[in-house]
Amino acid sequence: MSDTLLRNTTLDVATSSVRDVNRALKAADDGSFQVLNSGGAHALACGLDAPVDVTIKGHAGYYCAGMNKHASVTIEGNASTGLAENMMSGTVRVKGNVSQSAGATAHGGLLVIEGDASARCGISLKGAEIVVGGSVGHMSAFMAQAGALVVCGDAGEALGDSIYEARLYVRGSVASLGADCIEKEMRDEHREQLADLLSRAGIDANVADFKRYGSARQLYNFKIDNAY
């Protein structure tokens, strides 16, 4: 495929396989792409490793934008399980809702979900930043180690279960907190971080409406009493 075709081009899932679409995206060093007729196809725009701009004009299936690095991926629809799993850098934005495990194990970059996210959003988060315009389901930020999760709506049960050092900001209600997750003081540094994340996500919300949650640090060390 020529350099001209690799830049500012349209790729159609209706006439090309997902493998061919991904191959074209991965071959580009830069440029803008539109992916048409996505039809909920799985593993679209995975493993990108260049500052390309990809717009998926429709819904995406499992593991869309997984392992993203440097790329900017926008999904103009909903996305299924494992969106942006293990993302390293770049930006992934979903205009609709997402299924479970969005941003799982993500190390870096920004994930923006304009709608709601299902269960386990940000599970085992390792440094990425996630902003959800709506609500998240149960067990979100389970074992989150670093990074931040912003929820502009409500959070389901067991938020932040077994959390390490990630920062959680929730504007709405929290059904329940998971093991070792507590409400924490919102200091100036946290307000600044939250304001920056909301600005970058393009979400208009008042920082003063949010509460912060994080680790009580009671699970950091083994306690013999817990072995019985």
> pTM for the whole thing?
0.93
> Each residue's pLDDT tens digit in the chain (228 positions)?
444 444 558 999 999 999 999 999 999 999 999 999 999 999 999 999 999 999 999 999 999 999 999 999 999 999 999 999 999 999 999 999 999 999 999 999 999 999 999 999 999 999 999 999 999 999 999 999 999 999 999 999 999 999 999 999 999 999 999 999 999 999 999 999 999 999 999 999 999 999 999 999 988 776 666 666
- pLDDT at residue 219, as a whole number: 81
Per the structure, the complete domain to which residue 122 belongs is given by 3-227
- Where are the extended beta strands (E) located within the chain? 9-12, 32-36, 53-56, 72-75, 91-94, 110-113, 126-132, 146-151, 167-170, 181-184, 211-215
Q: Tokens 């989150």 belong to which residue?
A: 144
- pLDDT at residue 8, as a whole number: 58
CATH number of the structural domain spanning residue 135? 2.160.20.60
- pLDDT at residue 226, as a whole number: 60
- How many separate domains does the chain show? 1
- pLDDT at residue 7, as a whole number: 52
- pLDDT at residue 77, as a whole number: 97
Rounded Cα distance between 157 and 107, Å, is: 24
Rounded Cα distance between 127 and 36, Å, is: 31
Q: Tokens 């998926």 belong to which residue?
A: 56
